[in-house]
A and B are shown apart, each in its own frame.
Chain A
Amino acid sequence: MAAAGRPSSRRACPAERKRSPMRIECRNISYRYHAESEPIFENLSLCYDQPGFHALFGPSGVGKTTLARIICGEIQPAGGSVTTSRTEPILYTYNLERLPDWATTGRHLERVTPDGRAGLRESLVDIFDIRPCLDQRFGGLSLGQQNRVNLLRYLLQDFGFLIMDESLANVDEKTRETIIMHLKELFRDRMIIYISHNLVEVARFCRQIAVLRSVSKQPRIVRVTGQDLRLEGRPDRTALEKTMLEMMNAA
């Protein structure tokens, strides 16, 4: 992964030369919230160049969600471009989403499961530990349960890239860990970008970590390599601490 605040000073994506099979690249993105306001991004470039579980990290208010919405095409930047190496959709999900309350969550999940993915759905229901929620309506669930149900329905869809914006908020640490570990195994060939404020979690589980810094800092994005811990793997405490330190210094 490569990132830069000024495209002229840094190469946008070193892995580009390798022609990686999976890549998402933002080039010279410029954006401001209102015509009169200061730009939140100016010639911002960022690239994730491998499948896997990556992260977009940074303090509140630096524009992580805005950048995510630009990447998935929900917001049009004033300048720059977003390119991907595949034609599969980029999905973006966030933690405030709701399912309509006119049916149970189980019924909703059934209705949005594409043909042939009922098995995947059942596996995910168990991994996400939401089987007791299936007979209930979304409004009756706890926030953590709601976020898990919401994320699960996205994972059933066709996607090449998935941006999870605080999608596991309010979920307990152990369940979060289980979910992330299984996602990494089940979706090895996809790219998942995890937006979270949880320093330890991001450092521990993510592979390419883009630390988005405040507007006043240059470069805007600093690249950190995460520990990318897997199911069978054991955490290297020293390396983890080093990653965390790098992230903290970058932010």
Chain B
Amino acid sequence: MNGKTGKRNSLLAAAWILIVLTLAVAGAPEGRAWAGTLNYRLKWIYNASVIGDLYASGKGYFRAAGLEVKVRPGGPERDALRELELGYADFGVASADQVIRAVAKGAPLVVVAQLFQVNPLQWLYRTGKGMIRKLDDLKGRTIGITYGKNDEIIMRTLLAKAGIGRGQVEFYSVRLDYTPFLRGKVDLWPVYANTQAVFLRDKLSRAGEETALFVPGDFGVRFVANSVVTSEKLFKRNPELVKRFVGALLAGWKAALDVKHQKEALAILRQVDRDTPLRILKTQLEITRRLVMPRSGPPLGTIDFEGWRQTERIMLEQGQIKAPVKILSCLKPML
């Protein structure tokens, strides 16, 4: 075989692979019907942040609404929004920045409910160096941020708002390992107030250290967190199903956070999180309640339009999106 023929054969082989792959792909998840089980992809692994989702599933709220729902855990490698578009999930949970970023790239998504009324993403710090009562108090501190994630956007917004420039604070790149914070190398560490913060504070308090949470919302930055999202296609084709799903889900959340059902909720949490002590789980549940159903706040599941508008504006200012996405048009409260 001469070189020319070899090359031609290689190209032919490559073309064939491409054709076969394209054909295989063409018949993939496109024609998925919603008659069967609905897949609900969470944002994170099973913990207190998803108690309502687990409760709705475990206590038969979905079934009572005539729905078969499979609640699937999320994680750093999962992207509910991508799965929605690919048809692998029917509903998913994502934070506002994720949704806005996806919409900016043309993802056909609809936000149908907002689970957290107060963003659980906050910063834990030791009070030994003084309380942070105003943004200026951040000066001179080492602040942990996860580059590329929403905590970076929030912190940069806060600093810009206070006019704190480079050199006045130090950033520390955060990972899942808390050692730098526990060893005092970092002053402020980003945490979920209802999960990580609980056991970290418990750990530090047992070591005799007092801690507090720095809450961005207290300084006027309302960055929307976990919300329930579905595809535009499902929303348009079967709004009734979406409504039933959201209704059942929120009913589940409401029941899970009801003090009367605390025992059952904790039992469910215990099933999926055997390693966390019960007293920690209890505290996590209580804090989750305050974040999802604040006492003087709006009803459970309410979409905070102003919060979404602000989130979009912040992302635009921070260069996370290149142009406005009109996110309000994607918000379709199903309450």
Direct contact of A and B (CB under 8 A): no
